[in-house]
Copies of this chain bind each other. A is one copy, B any other.
Amino acid sequence: MAETNLQVLLRRRPQGEPTPDDFEIREAPAPEPAEGEVLVRARFLSLDPYMRGRMSDAKSYAKPVEIGAVMEGQTAGEVVASRAPGFAPGDTVLGGFGWQRFSAVPAARLFKVDPDEAPLSASLGVLGMPGLTAWVGLEDIGQPKAGETVVVSAASGAVGQVVGQIAKIRGCRAVGVAGGKAKCDFVTGELGFDACVDHRGDLKAQLEAACPDGIDVYWENVGGAVQAAVFPRLNDFGRMVMCGMIAEYNDASPRPGPNLMACVRKRLRIQGFIVSDSGWQRYGRFRAEMLGWMRDGRMRWREDVVDGLRAAPQAFIGLLKGANFGKLVVRVD
């Protein structure tokens, strides 16, 4: 007899800030795996800012979630039943199985991991898409050199934590931007950044103090007032790694950006990327390097764990407002 599945669907497209009514929570029988498929039970679901884009039907790099479909998301879980060679019940697997407890997945979309290498939830954060995002964006665009100053917005978040710590490993001065004293204390104390700017305070004065030699690399996760304060402080040949602008995701119409003449005068590079373009081809190299740093104690991370799939919509709404503290994951059961 099939177990009961629990699913979170997109009920309608949000106008501005999402509300719980934009989601629908549904029980349904767990699916049966077809030949070549594996039945997976999710243990952890990752909640990430990009999901706001998937809820909208505005033109973007990825197709939107259809109305009435299961919300997309990365999950870590275990194999319950297998009709595919190479997978057996009890195996630990990663994949994009969405906001649901059970899914029947073609074997090609599964990634098997050794559960003893790291805590399972870490494969959704520091060892997963957010960690890979940080690593790829620095490798391809940020290219921090020893002695440079790297500023990271949303510094206590899933990607920001990793960006700053890699910058430290590369010999840079790492300066975070986060909201509130608790996050800033964590960023400097636990993560070892050199300084952290509280965006609820006087951004300009704090940035001046934290970046006496200007800013060589700005990792953009937030946009808005932080971007406006950082941009004029970029040094010649500065790089702006465009990863996201979460402070503006709920805006109905786009805000103006900085005047781009500074790009000429200072030879700036502003460049965006999406980790799925070419990041996963480098996952092996990334995972090996990251596991090394984790074992050495040079890479620390904080998770904000929410219990139960039914709590996912509210947790996601909070994520867009910075209510989480650390990488936001849902413990599915």
Pick the contact of A271: B53, B268, B274 (CB < 8 A). Answer: B268
Q: Give CA–CA (A93, B148) in the complex, Å.
A: 41
CA distance in complex: A265, B56 (Å) = 13
Contacts of A256 in B (CB 8 A): 256-259
A268 to chain B, nearest CB (A): 6
Q: Pick the 7 closest A-B CB pairs, nearest first.
A: A256-B256, A263-B272, A254-B259, A264-B272, A242-B263, A270-B270, A269-B271
For the complex, what is the distance from the CA of A262 to the CA of B268, rounded to whole Å? Answer: 17
Minimal beta-carbon separation of A239 from chain B (angstroms):
9
Assembly CA distance A243 to B220 (angstroms): 24
Q: Of A248, A254, A256, A272, which is in contact with the most chain B CB atoms at under 10 Å from its CB?
A: A272
Q: A242 with B259: in contact, given A270-B270, A271-B270 (CB under 8 Å)?
A: no
Contacts A266-B61, A267-B277, A277-B267 known; A223 to B272 CB distance under 8 Å? no
A193–B65 alpha-carbon span in the complex (Å) = 42
A252 on the B face (CB < 8 A): no
> Does A259 contact B261, Cβ atoms closer than 8 Å?
no
Q: Please, what's the 1-or-0 string for A54-75, where 1 marks a CB less than 8 Å from any CB in chain B?
A: 0000001100000000000000
Q: Are B272 and A245 in contact (CB under 8 A)?
A: no
Instruction: Tell which of A220, A242, A267, A273 has the most Cβ of chain B within 10 Å.
Output: A242
Question: Would you give the shortest CB distance from A16 to chain B, in whole angstroms?
Answer: 16
Enumerate 26 A-B pairs (CB-CB under 8 Å) in ascending A order: A60-B265, A61-B266, A223-B261, A242-B260, A244-B264, A245-B260, A245-B261, A254-B259, A255-B259, A256-B256, A256-B257, A256-B259, A257-B260, A260-B270, A262-B272, A264-B273, A266-B272, A267-B271, A267-B272, A267-B273, A268-B272, A269-B269, A269-B271, A270-B270, A270-B271, A271-B271
Separation in Å of the A240 CB from the closest CB of chain B?
A: 8
Residues of B within 8 A of A257 (CB): 256-260
> Known contacts A223-B261, A256-B256; can you find 5 more A-B pairs with CB under 8 A?
A61-B266, A61-B267, A220-B260, A265-B272, A271-B271
Q: How far is the CA of A243 from the CA of B267 in the complex (A)?
A: 9
A231-245 with Cβ < 8 A to chain B: 236, 242-245
A250 at the interface (CB under 8 A from B): no
Q: Which residues of B contact A267 (CB under 8 A)?
A: 61, 271-274, 277
Q: Are A248 and B270 in contact (CB under 8 A)?
A: no
> A188 contacts the other chain (Cβ, under 8 Å)?
no
Q: List residues of chain B with CB within 8 A of the CB of A260.
A: 220, 223, 227, 242, 245, 257-258, 270, 272
| Chain B residues in 8 Å Cβ range of A271 | 263, 267-271
User: In the bound complex, how far is the Cα of B270 from the Cα of A269, in angstroms?
Assistant: 6
| Candidate in A53, A236, A264 with the most chain B CB atoms within 10 angstroms | A264
Cβ contact within 8 Å between A265 and B223: no
